[in-house]
Structure 1
Amino acid sequence: MRTMSARLLALTLISGPLIAGLAGCAHNKACPPAAPGSAVLQPDWHDVITDPDHLRLRAWRKAFVDALTKARGSGHGAEIDAQGKLLDPDTALDHPALPVGFYSCRVIKLGAKEAGHADYIAYPAHRCQVRPSDDITRLVQLDGLQKPSGRLYQDGASRMVFLGTMILGDEQKPIAYGRDADRDMVGIVQRVGDKHWRMLLPNPAWESNMDVLDLTLAD
């Protein structure tokens, strides 16, 4: 009984100032940084992803290699080689997180889904933005007729996972992820150089077998 009382007293002495401090922090809206060693729990993409997108994500590398092979087979080898590490399936540097800010972003489509369409198309650059959204970051393309918009999830030392949807035409807001399989987008984000990332979107709903979003951080 004496031991339990001592423990309760110790907890009171420790938690009392902590609770008071948190109350003051909330009242003043100015909280000190987290103590060293404490971690903010990040959302897990496994809890959000749909089953079809999970299958697409697992097969990303095969989709990439197959799309590159198809594009090379139709005479686009020189264009692929000119992109360097951007279109190398085995390029992935550590620290893949995209800093908050504005980006130049362009799409390269590889491997046509239907006969008669080009197996390699490089589109002009648009503007993208990475912005904070609650406890995670969001990637949004700001202009163009097809604008991906979605959340970026931490996933190991060399990649992030993107889950989002496609904004079409003059739509002002994205639809919720998981509501329309044709609009859902899944991809991985990898750093390929200084201020340079790519987002690989395997087996998108339309046009190609692999979309590569080339992202360069604006100065």
Structure 2
Amino acid sequence: MTGRVHAILAAITAALLTASCAYTTGVTGTPAGANPDQELPTIWRSIATDDDRQRISNVRRSFREGVADAAAGGHAHEVAQEGILLQPDAGRADPRPPAGYYRCRFVKLGSQGSVPLSFVAYPWFRCRIDDQGETLRFVKLTGSQRPSGTFYPDNRLRMIFLGVLVLGDETRAHVYGRDTTRDMAGILERIGDARWRIVLPYPRFESLVDVIELVPEDQGSAG
């Protein structure tokens, strides 16, 4: 009986080690989120860094602080014009989006102090979502700042985003968890019949919260 218990414990330990390492590199050595064929664990808490778990736990606080700071900075009208996109509690049930190409744009709210602007809305870019089974792979295809990563199931109102920031003419994403200045973490919510947003609390630079709006390409702008 003792030998059987030891064998079971050894198997459990091996499984945990495999899960903890799976997000760093796949069989080809490419970063998680950069290889669409890589099998990733679906339990995001076993993948996220301690710092990113903390950021995700404070997502609503950062959203409210960002909206308040933008309004205090003279941008209350711009925030109001965005409607439901910038309302912290606007998430609806069934957050998982279909695979395909999307129009996406960044809205940055609040200022960390080093950057004086408290509201910046960028134009539309192109993004893509790929279905990986339980998870979804997300990548922003155009622009000088391009998030790349994975959406993980969390609950009926949101999915979790963990990824990295690709800059400039870089052609390969960094490995999540190795460079805190590139790590990205947040939540994905559905805010309309064919409209989603990624909320990124306390990003490393510039703003207090970043919001990425997503609409399918065939839907055009959400207005």
**Category of TM-score, reference length = shorter chain:** 0.7 to 0.9
Q: CA 1:78–1:211 in 2, change beyond 3 Å: closer, same or farther?
A: same
Q: CA 1:98–1:42 in 2, change beyond 3 Å: closer, same or farther?
A: farther
Which amino acid counterpart does residue 177 of structure 1 have in structure 2? Y
Q: CA 1:44–1:53 in 2, change beyond 3 Å: closer, same or farther?
A: same
**Aligned position for 2:101:** 102
2:187 matches 1:188: yes
Q: Using the TM superposition, give the Cα deviation of residue 117 of structure 1 relative to its aligned residue in structure 2, in angstroms.
A: 1.6
Contact 2:165 2:173 in 1 (8 A): yes
What is the rounded CA distance, in whole Å, between the counterparts of 2:201 and 2:146 in structure 1?
Answer: 16
**Aligned position for 2:145:** 146
What is the TM-score normalised by the length of structure 2? 0.78
Name the SS for the 1:201 alignment partner. Answer: strand
The aligned runs of 1:34-183 (5 Å cut-off) are 43-114=42-113, 117-133=116-132, 136-183=135-182
Which amino acid counterpart does residue 91 of structure 2 have in structure 1? A
Q: Using the TM superposition, give the Cα deviation of residue 137 of structure 1 relative to its aligned residue in structure 2, in angstroms.
A: 1.2
What is the rounded CA distance, in whole Å, between the counterparts of 1:133 and 1:146 in structure 2?
Answer: 24
Which amino acid counterpart does residue 162 of structure 1 have in structure 2? F
What is the rounded CA distance, in whole Å, between the counterparts of 1:88 and 1:199 in structure 2?
Answer: 13
Which amino acid counterpart does residue 164 of structure 2 have in structure 1? T
Q: CA 1:116–1:185 in 2, change beyond 3 Å: closer, same or farther?
A: closer
In structure 2, the gaps of 5 or more residues are: 1-39, 219-223
What is the rounded CA distance, in whole Å, between the counterparts of 1:165 and 1:115 in structure 2?
Answer: 22
Q: CA 1:136–1:146 in 2, change beyond 3 Å: closer, same or farther?
A: same
Which amino acid counterpart does residue 207 of structure 2 have in structure 1? S
Displacement over 2 Å in runs of 4+: 132-136
Contact 1:42 1:135 in 2 (8 A): no
Q: Using the TM superposition, give the Cα deviation of residue 183 of structure 1 relative to its aligned residue in structure 2, in angstroms.
A: 0.3
What is the rounded CA distance, in whole Å, between the counterparts of 2:80 and 2:177 in structure 1?
Answer: 36
Name the SS for the 2:60 alignment partner. Answer: helix
What is the rounded CA distance, in whole Å, between the counterparts of 1:42 and 1:51 in structure 2?
Answer: 17
RMSD of Structure 2 on Structure 1 (CA) = 1.4
Q: CA 1:115–1:164 in 2, change beyond 3 Å: closer, same or farther?
A: closer
What is the rounded CA distance, in whole Å, between the counterparts of 2:178 and 2:114 in structure 1?
Answer: 29
Contact 2:104 2:212 in 1 (8 A): yes
Which amino acid counterpart does residue 183 of structure 1 have in structure 2? R
